[in-house]
Amino acid sequence: MGQFWIKMYSYYYSRFNHRDYVRGLNNYGLTCCINALLQSFSATPELLELLEKYHPAENERNKVPMKLKNTLCAMRKDQKHHSPHRDFIDCLHHHSIHRMHLTRFIQHDADEIFHSILNLTQKQMIDKDLAEEIRKVYEIKVETQVMCKECGHIEKTPNSLYSLPLAIREGDNTLESCVQSFTQQEPLRSGNECYCDWCMKKQPTTHQLKLVSLPSVLCIHLKRFRNYGNTRKLNDRVTFPETLNMNIFNGQSENAKEFYSLYGVIVHLGSAFSGHYTAFIRDTPDQNWFYADDSSVRQATWKDVQETYEGRMTAYLLLYRKMSESASG
């Protein structure tokens, strides 16, 4: 890793006492999903720096953004207290009443909760400029392109995501093959023709997703749960690198010549109906891996992380941080 990158993150991590951030969190009624996500948020100085600037109004103090800020601060400063997140969990539970469905004692999906936390943060922050900065940390810009096979006219629809949803196939997968499937052009099935503004009638079309831009923190969702009449989990092999060369996106993104470094892996253990979430977190600048399973934390290795490629203990969310091009060597 380049010296510039090391110095930059030494600055971030010294400010947030980052060498002490991996600490255990008690489980309060199937909250392992939230615990694992909090470990990833605590390991994201881009988010921590923005939350440090957040000074809420009086009516914001009992809402998700403030509770998240307080929790992450307590996780880093009070190593003996294993319940710094209790108020945050209670706050999420309160908002489950308001259509967010973050209820206790129910198994939740990590990607859905990840989106819910970020969406609630956006919605409840009065400082919309700061909320926008937080959104940009994770925002993936994509474009849906529907092309008329008769005249070639392309209808483009912009969209944004907090995580890149990659379907996996039965058998061996690589992260690159999953990305290629995500951006592959596909014809719509017969009977699903779309109206073409140029032809003035419904025509056979193709559908394709294009990546427009990638954020400083890239969250990748490996979609292991499938519904074949009933939901089941795919435990098939998906390999992923510690350093991600963005050329795997075939130059579709403006960031195609940049590199990303893996710093967090949210892991799912078990089946679709009986599961448990844990997290691998990498310390920076020392580059040490740690494994957090609720209140239990131990040091780990890259080999340990690689064991989540397949099986009942499988990687579910991958968190990559953008590196400078010179830092990849």
Mean pLDDT on 141-159: 89
CB 319 within 8 A of CB 265: yes
Separation between Cα atoms, residue 101 and residue 85, nearest integer Å:
19
Distance CA 97, CA 245 (A): 42
Whether the Cβ atoms of residue 240 and residue 175 lie closer than 8 Å to each other: yes
Contacts of 114 (CB under 8 A, 6+ apart): 37, 162, 163, 219, 317
The per-residue pLDDT for range 3-13, each reduced to its tens digit, is: 443 444 444 44
What pLDDT score was predicted for residue 43? 94
List, in sequence order, every residue forming a beta bridge with 220; answer none if it has no partner. Answer: 164, 318
Six-digit token string for 193 = 């023709």
Residue 328 has what pLDDT?
43
What is the rounded distance in angstroms from the CA atom of residue 45 to the CA atom of residue 259?
18
Residue 284's pLDDT band, with cuts at 50, 70 and 90, is low
* pLDDT for the residue numbered 103: 57
CB distance 217 to 46 below 8 Å: yes
Tens digits of residue pLDDT in 223-273 = 999 877 787 899 999 999 999 988 777 654 455 567 899 999 999 999 877
Q: What integer best gives the mean pLDDT of the chain? A: 84
Alpha-carbon gap, residue 159 to 282, rounded angstroms:
31
Q: In the chain, what are the domains?
A: 3-328 (3.90.70.10)
Gap between the Cα atoms of 166 and 222, Å rounded: 5
Q: CA 47, 165, 207, 186: dihedral to nearest 10 degrees?
A: 150
Backbone φ, ψ for residue 110 (5° rounding):
-60, -40
Rounded to an integer, the average pLDDT of 271-283 is 89
Angle at 195 between CA 194 and CA 197, to 5 degrees: 140
Tell me the β-bridge partners of 267: 278, 315
Total residue count of the chain as it appears in this document:
329
Phi, psi (degrees; rounded to nearest 5) at 321:
-110, 135
Per-residue model confidence as pLDDT tens digits over 4-47: 434 444 444 444 444 455 888 999 888 899 999 999 999 999 99
pLDDT for 32 equals 93
Q: What percent of the chain stands above pLDDT 90?
A: 52
Here the tokens at position 232 are 């089941």
Residue 79 banded pLDDT, cuts 50, 70, 90: low
Backbone angles phi, psi at 190, to 5 degrees: -55, 135
| Statement: residue 304 has pLDDT above 50 | yes
Residue 313 has pLDDT above 70, yes or no: yes
* Rounded average pLDDT over 111-121: 93
pTM (two decimals): 0.87
